[in-house]
Structure formats: structure tokens, C-alpha cells
A and B are shown apart, each in its own frame.
Chain A
Amino acid sequence: MNTVWALSGVVIKELYRRKDFYVLLVLTGLITLAAGSANFFNDAKIVVYLKDLCLLLIWISALVIAVGTAARQIPAEREQRTIFPLLAKPVTRWQVILGKFLGCWLACGLALVVFYAFFVVVTGSREHHWPLLNYFQALWLQWIMLGVVIALVLFGSIIFSAPSANATICIVVVVGILLIGRHLNKVALQQPEPLQTLIYVVYFLIPHLEWYDVRDLIVYDHALISWWHCGLATLYGAVYVLLFLFVAWLAFRRKRLSV
């Protein structure tokens, strides 16, 4: 596990030494503050639009960071050839995959904490109430979702040689799941066979990332989700993470590496 932690430490260092995170944080901050300064019919108590906008920006930023960071990890190791001195040490390819995943996931978690801290300050300053447990739930579920996304992207990064192609495909898949994942069963019912069965199979196979998007519950001050269900969603996410990491390892294990 020491090796995995060491590898993840490098990924985290890479994230905070690159400009991506800071640019996205500043952009989110600027757009939110600009929107917050707008005057709508002389009513200073309006806050929902601000929460909605800020969370949307956080979601976009987190996805960009997660996909961008994960997509370049293994291709960059191969392209810059850092993989060779690394694998010349007692490091297995499974440890490389796991370390990269853990690093990206922890780095995204850190980024999320910073983003949500900003969100709490902005909304708290308007609403004067602090539903921190709800915010924690939203952050936790988003983090779990990012875990699944990172594992998927890592798998993609072994299949596709160009990080940009992998990132684009993964973004399309993830956004597609977020937007229509939960409706695929309804879509299936309106299709003739065998399309119906095919769509239903896809519906049951894809990771239902939309579960982890609880922005509406936060924006409109709904009650907490039961912790039991949060736990089950975490378990569901963990299964997909392991699945994607396992297939990534299977693909990576067979990759020929030559100096």
C-alpha cells in the first residue's frame, strides 16, 4: 500500500502545481460573485439561482479536473517515459493503476472541499443558515461519482492512446449518463424489439451517475437523504470503481512497454 500512497502523492502534487484547478476555481468564483451582485427587482433575499449556478459550475469544474487529470496520467507516464524507472522498481502494474486512481480521486476530493467551502460561504452569507450535513452529503456523493468517472477514464486511457480522445469520449459518456441515464428504461419501452432489450441491457449495465447529482435537493433545501441510502450508493459506486480498475489492469497488464 506504501507504493500506492507514494504514487497517489505524486498525482496530488501534480494537480496543485498545475494551473487548471486554480483557473477553474477563480472562474467559478468570479462568475458566482458576478451573478450574486445582480439586482433582481430590488430583492436581496433571492438565493436559489445563485446556489444553482454555483453548484453547476462546481460540477463542471470537478468533472473537468477529474477527467483532465485522470486522462493524462498513464499516457503521460508512457509518453514522458517516467513509467520505465517506475516499473523498474518493485511496483506492479496493478499498483500503478491503483495509485493513479487514488491520487486522482484524493486530488478531486481536495478540489471539491475547496469548491464547497466557497459555496458554503456564498450561500451562507445570503441565507444565514448552514445545512452543513446536507452539503456534506452532496460533496460525498459527488466525490463517489468522480471516483467512478476517474476509474472509467483510467480504463479509457489504456485503450485510447490520445488523452484528448479519451477525455472527449469519457465526457460525452458521463454527461450522457447524467442527462438520460435514469430515463433509459422509459426510452426502451417506446422502442421495438430488439432495440428495447438492447437499451434495457445498457440501462442495467451503465453506472447510474445521476444518483449522485443531488444538487436539486441542496438548491431547494430538501431534507437529508437517509444515510443508509447514501451508504448503498457508495457501495454501488465502489463496485463500479473496482470493475473499471480491474478491466483497466487487465488491459494494462498486456500492454507491451519498450524503452
Chain B
Amino acid sequence: MSVILKTEKLRVEYPNRESRQGRKVALSGLDLEVNAGEVFGFLGPNGAGKTTTMNVLLGFLPPTSGTASLFGIDVRQPIARQRIGYLPENTYYYKFLTAEELLRFYARIFGLTSAEADRRIAELIQLVELGHAAKRAIKTYSKGMQQRVGLAQALINNPDLLIFDEPTSGLDPLGRMKVREIIQRLKNEGKTVFFSSHELGEVETVCDRVAIINQGELKVRGSVADLVERHQANLEKVFLDIIGYQPQPVS
């Protein structure tokens, strides 16, 4: 099975703004491998280094040391991002554009022909059920609708790898269900999905494999079934054990 996403001894350090001296280690020797066609859950508590990892994978941050590659190409090369789709945690789009214009803009970036873009936009608008609002400015959309526009833009280039950052964050149960359905559908189409989430139930439902990091270090990696079997507990319990959470007795 081919490796699509890979990090080797990935280390990221930030200048420490709080103490104004020394450097804060955000990631320390992270090794990850995501295979083609799998749904990979990337878990960790807040501040564990999930977002930093994503920032490196997307080329927003240069690693201090180590390497990260997508499809075997160093992430610092823009071409590495040709076959990926990215959905940020919150909705960050040009609010003065309509959904259709936004998708056309991203389609142009990927070099889609006009006819190809038309076809793809129509498909995606239908997929995310925004047909009724496609010609309305994004600023008039609800949060759920904006998240769906986000999904559509992440899929505009028919990517082989999807990187989702908390894809269901802030959505109502129906919205979460729809996102989950789309991830499942993408998996069935043979796409690779790499996503971070706090929703462990969701991860358990859709992921083939997971990695759990804490304080910038990889704690565990493996298939969901193996982890659950090994720890004789559900994923939430496994997660809490791994990050070393000690429940306080309720007085």
C-alpha cells in the first residue's frame, strides 16, 4: 500500500513569547505515515501539536528539523498540494463572493478548464446541498452552510488526500451527520482522509487508523480496532489513558 502522507522526525520550535527566552517545542520527532485509501484520525488534547502538524503539512510553517511529504514531495513545494483538499476548522472564505464564485476561483487555481469547472461546481453544490443558495453571497450563510461551502472547496480538484481540521466543529447533529456521510462516501471512492477531531465517537465510527499525540510527541498509532482490543475499552477511555488523564474524585 503506498504511503501518501509521511513525516519523519518532525520537529517544530517556536520562540517562547511568554518567557521571552528559550524556545517552545511544539512537535518533537513526529513520525507519521498515512496510506492511500485510509481514513486516518489525528487525535490529541488542545495544545498537543495537531494544528502545528497540519500547518507544517500545508506549508504554512517550516519545520525546524525533520521532513514532511505529501505524495513523496516535500511539503514546502507548492506542487505537493496539487492533489490535496483542505477544510479548516472554522469557515474562512471571501464573504463577498457567492459559493459558486468561490468554487470557480479555486477551480481556476487548480487549472480546471471552464467546462470542467462548471461540471465540478454543479456536482459539489449538489453534494453539499447548497443549490438554493449557490448564487448568494457567503456572508448571508449560516455556519453549517459555510462549513458545507468549505467541504465543497476542499473537493473542487477531486483530491486524492483530504486534510480536515475538526470538520464537525460547531455543527449541529444533522450537520455532523452529513459531514460524516461525506467522509464515508469519500472513503468508498478510495480517497485518503486525514483529519483531526475531538469527537472520539466520530473518529471511532469513520477511522481506519488513528494516531494520538500529546505535548508534541506521538503516543500511540494503530487501527481503532487494535487499540480498543488492546486496552479493553472504548476509544475515549483509551485516549484518556494515553494522555495520562487522572479523574479527580467528585466531592
Chain A contact residues, CB within 8 Å of chain B: 2-3, 5-6, 9-10, 13-14, 17-18, 80-92, 256-259
A14 CA to B105 CA, complexed, in Å: 13
Which of the four size classes fits the interface of chain B?
35 or more
Residue ID in chain A nearest B156 by CB atoms: A89
CB pair A87–B60 under 8 Å, yes or no, is: yes
CB pair A5–B108 under 8 Å, yes or no, is: yes
Residue ID in chain A nearest B102 by CB atoms: A10
CB pair A88–B81 under 8 Å, yes or no, is: yes
From A5, A81, A90, B82 is in contact (CB under 8 Å) with: A90
Query: Distance in Å from the Cβ of B27 to the closest Cβ of chain A?
Result: 12
Q: List 28 A-B contacts (CB under 8 A).
A: A2-B109, A5-B108, A6-B105, A9-B108, A10-B94, A13-B96, A14-B94, A81-B90, A81-B92, A82-B92, A84-B60, A85-B92, A85-B106, A85-B153, A88-B60, A88-B81, A88-B88, A89-B106, A89-B110, A89-B157, A90-B79, A90-B82, A92-B78, A256-B60, A258-B51, A259-B51, A259-B60, A259-B165
- Going nearest first, the 10 A-B pairs with the smallest beta carbon separation are A88-B86, A81-B92, A6-B108, A257-B60, A90-B78, A88-B58, A90-B82, A17-B96, A90-B81, A82-B92
* Complex contacts, A91 vs chain B, CB 8 Å: 78, 81, 109
From A5, A83, A256, B61 is in contact (CB under 8 Å) with: A256
A256 CA to B59 CA, complexed, in Å: 10
Interface flag for B150 (CB, 8 Å): yes
Residue ID in chain B nearest A18 by CB atoms: B96
- Binary A-proximity of B48-63 (CB < 8 A = 1, otherwise 0): 0001101100111100
Known: A85-B150, A90-B82, A259-B89. 11 other contacts (CB 8 A): A3-B109, A6-B105, A6-B108, A83-B92, A84-B92, A85-B92, A85-B153, A88-B81, A90-B110, A92-B78, A256-B61
Interface flag for B122 (CB, 8 Å): no
A88 CA to B79 CA, complexed, in Å: 10
A2 CA to B106 CA, complexed, in Å: 11
Residue ID in chain B nearest A6 by CB atoms: B108
- How many pairs of residues, A versus B, come closer than 8 Å at their CB atoms? 89
* Complex contacts, A256 vs chain B, CB 8 Å: 60-61
CB contact under 8 A between A2 and B86, given known A10-B97, A258-B51: no
Residue ID in chain B nearest A255 by CB atoms: B60
A257 CA to B92 CA, complexed, in Å: 14
Residue ID in chain B nearest A256 by CB atoms: B61
A13 CA to B138 CA, complexed, in Å: 14
A38 CA to B54 CA, complexed, in Å: 65
Query: Distance in Å from the Cβ of A96 to the closest Cβ of chain B?
Result: 11
Interface flag for B129 (CB, 8 Å): no
Query: Distance in Å from the Cβ of A22 to the closest Cβ of chain B?
Result: 14
* Complex contacts, A258 vs chain B, CB 8 Å: 51-52, 55, 60-61
Interface flag for B33 (CB, 8 Å): no
Query: Distance in Å from the Cβ of A245 to the closest Cβ of chain B?
Result: 18
CB pair A2–B108 under 8 Å, yes or no, is: yes
Interface flag for B93 (CB, 8 Å): yes
* Complex contacts, A85 vs chain B, CB 8 Å: 86, 88, 92-93, 106, 150, 153-154
- Binary A-proximity of B83-105 (CB < 8 A = 1, otherwise 0): 01010111011111100010001
A87 CA to B60 CA, complexed, in Å: 7
Query: Distance in Å from the Cβ of A66 to the closest Cβ of chain B?
Result: 19
CB pair B109–A87 under 8 Å, yes or no, is: no
Interface flag for B222 (CB, 8 Å): no
From B51, B92, B105, B163, A10 is in contact (CB under 8 Å) with: B105
CB pair B94–A82 under 8 Å, yes or no, is: yes
CB contact under 8 A between A89 and B51, given known A10-B94, A13-B97, A82-B93: no
